[in-house]
Chains A and B, each alone.
Chain A
Amino acid sequence: NAGVTQTPKFQVLKTGQSMTLQCAQDMNHEYMSWYRQDPGMGLRLIHYSVGAGITDQGEVPNGYNVSRSTTEDFPLRLLSAAPSQTSVYFCASSYGRKPYEQYFGPGTRLTVT
């Protein structure tokens, strides 16, 4: 199993540009989520999904959209990038909701200029 994969590894955007961060898992996990990691802040939950077709907001959802059309994929869209979205983004998955171990991808480092 590849586990949780994320692409791209690095990305530089200009303010106002849009892009999609890709996340995929091959473990047949129902639950997937996105976090951002900023210096001195710890990881914070952006959006999550408890199954295909179901998504919900986390702690810091503004400026981001998600959808979950398949069990395997959970892309994160930045509609109009802002410098405040410069961060490292991590995708995670687990077998189900809440009591299960979370597995993280390698991250995408995004810089918005």
Chain B
Amino acid sequence: KQEVTQIPAALSVPEGENLVLNCSFTDSAIYNLQWFRQDPGKGLTSLLLIQSSQREQTSGRLNASLDKSSGRSTLYIAASQPGDSATYLCAVMYSGGGADGLTFGKGTHLIIQP
């Protein structure tokens, strides 16, 4: 069974710092990996989608990398801002059969201090 782990569970840093969120998955048979942002009491906002054949994707201050063979992805946030405070979720779409859906990690709760 595919399992997704996110480290750290919580992170608090001063504004302006660059930071890295980590995601690992147990089975490298994936179609893609998606990073989401979730604000308190809100839905999920898609940040970046990396297909299994890709190594990284960039959007503004965000950069996500994927190393399928080692089962790892990182989300790099440059020059963090208080508005980046949210929970960040990593999810993989497994290609090894079974239900067609995303397997999620439990998230990293990020606080950017002004």
Tell whether, in the assembled complex, residue A48 and residue B104 are in contact, meaning their CB atoms are under 8 Å apart.
no
Known A43-B89, A99-B32: A58·B101 in contact at CB below 8 Å? yes
Considering residues A35, A44, A90, A98, which has the most beta carbons from chain B within 10 angstroms of its beta carbon?
A: A98
- Count chain B residues whose beta carbon lies closer than 8 angstroms to a beta carbon of A: 25
Tell whether, in the assembled complex, residue B95 and residue A98 are in contact, meaning their CB atoms are under 8 Å apart.
yes
With an 8 A cutoff between CB atoms, is B61 at the interface? no
Tell whether, in the assembled complex, residue B106 and residue A98 are in contact, meaning their CB atoms are under 8 Å apart.
no
Tell whether, in the assembled complex, residue B99 and residue A98 are in contact, meaning their CB atoms are under 8 Å apart.
no
Q: Which of B12-20, B41-49, B74-82 contacts A (4 or more CB under 8 A)?
A: B41-49
Known A41-B106, A42-B106, A99-B32: A58·B46 in contact at CB below 8 Å? no
Tell whether, in the assembled complex, residue B101 and residue A33 are in contact, meaning their CB atoms are under 8 Å apart.
yes
Tell whether, in the assembled complex, residue A104 and residue B36 are in contact, meaning their CB atoms are under 8 Å apart.
yes
With an 8 A cutoff between CB atoms, is A52 at the interface? no
Contacts of B34 in A (CB 8 A): 101-102
Tell whether, in the assembled complex, residue A48 and residue B100 are in contact, meaning their CB atoms are under 8 Å apart.
yes
Contacts of B91 in A (CB 8 A): 43, 102
Tell whether, in the assembled complex, residue A45 and residue B102 are in contact, meaning their CB atoms are under 8 Å apart.
yes
With an 8 A cutoff between CB atoms, is A26 at the interface? no
What DSSP secondary structure best describes chain A's contact surface?
A: strand
With an 8 A cutoff between CB atoms, is B93 at the interface? yes
Q: Give bound CA distance, A41 to B32, whole Å.
A: 21
Tell whether, in the assembled complex, residue A45 and residue B105 are in contact, meaning their CB atoms are under 8 Å apart.
no
Pick the contact of B51: A43, A48, A97, A99 (CB < 8 A).
A99
Tell whether, in the assembled complex, residue A97 and residue B100 are in contact, meaning their CB atoms are under 8 Å apart.
yes
Nearest B residue (CB) for A33: B101
Q: Give bound CA distance, A98 to B97, whole Å.
A: 11
Tell whether, in the assembled complex, residue A102 and residue B46 are in contact, meaning their CB atoms are under 8 Å apart.
yes
A interface vs B, CB < 8 Å?
31, 33, 35, 40-45, 48, 50, 56-59, 90, 92, 97-99, 101-107, 109
17 intermolecular pairs with C-beta atoms under 8 Å apart: A33-B100, A33-B101, A41-B106, A42-B4, A42-B105, A45-B102, A59-B99, A90-B44, A92-B44, A98-B31, A98-B95, A99-B51, A101-B49, A102-B91, A104-B46, A106-B42, A106-B43
